[in-house]
Amino acid sequence: MTWIVYLSGEIHTDWRQQISDGAKAQDLPVVFSSAVTDHEASDAAGDVLGSESNQFWRDHKSAKVNGIRTRTLIDKCDVAVVRFGDRYKQWNAAFDAGYCAASGKPYIALHDEDIVHALKEVDASAMAWAKTPAQVVEILRYVTKAQ
């Protein structure tokens, strides 16, 4: 069995790459999926449908186009990793965590210790809290390859 791992959240550091590299190094039977992580492309996802003078509607259209991708990929994944960095609001990451919780989709929360209190509801529904990408890789190794 190949496990599908959805990587949600922060797009400003290379945590996705670290997890992907770590999985490859250990030859884990996993494939990764994700939202589009090119910030500008993501914000412009709906522009092809016509330009908007109003920021709210431009965001609305783009967020819905992105939603076609993200909901489908979350629904198809076996486990998600939800990453919270030290900048920005990252409400979309928390939104994805809530979506996973309601769908019975297991997820691993990935964040530093200093935001533990603010993330207590997100962590309470998570299957694990990891502080580093390396820990995530180790959890994935155990889950997919231990006997």
Q: Return the residues of window 86-105 that contact its own copies according to CB under 8 A.
A: 88-104
Q: Which is nearer to its own copies, 27 or 91 (CB)?
A: 91
CB 125 within 8 A of CB 103: no
Cα–Cα distance for residue pair 134/18, rounded to 1 Å: 8
Considering only residues 20, 30, 62, 83, which one is a binding residue for its own copies as defined by CB under 8 A? 62
- Please pick, from the candidates 26, 32, 85, 106, the single residue that binds its own copies as defined by CB under 8 A: 106
CA distance 70 to 67: 5
Per the CB < 8 A criterion, the answer to whether 110 and 140 are in contact is no
147 sits near its own copies (criterion: CB under 8 A): yes
List the structure tokens of 100. 């996973």
* Given 24, 39, 51, 67, the residue binding its own copies (CB under 8 A): 67
**39 is an interface residue for its own copies by CB under 8 A:** no
Among 33, 85, 86, 133, binds its own copies (CB under 8 A): 33
**Among the listed residues 34, 38, 26, the one whose alpha carbon sits nearest the alpha carbon of residue 5:** 34
Q: Nearer to its own copies by C-beta: 24 or 31?
A: 31
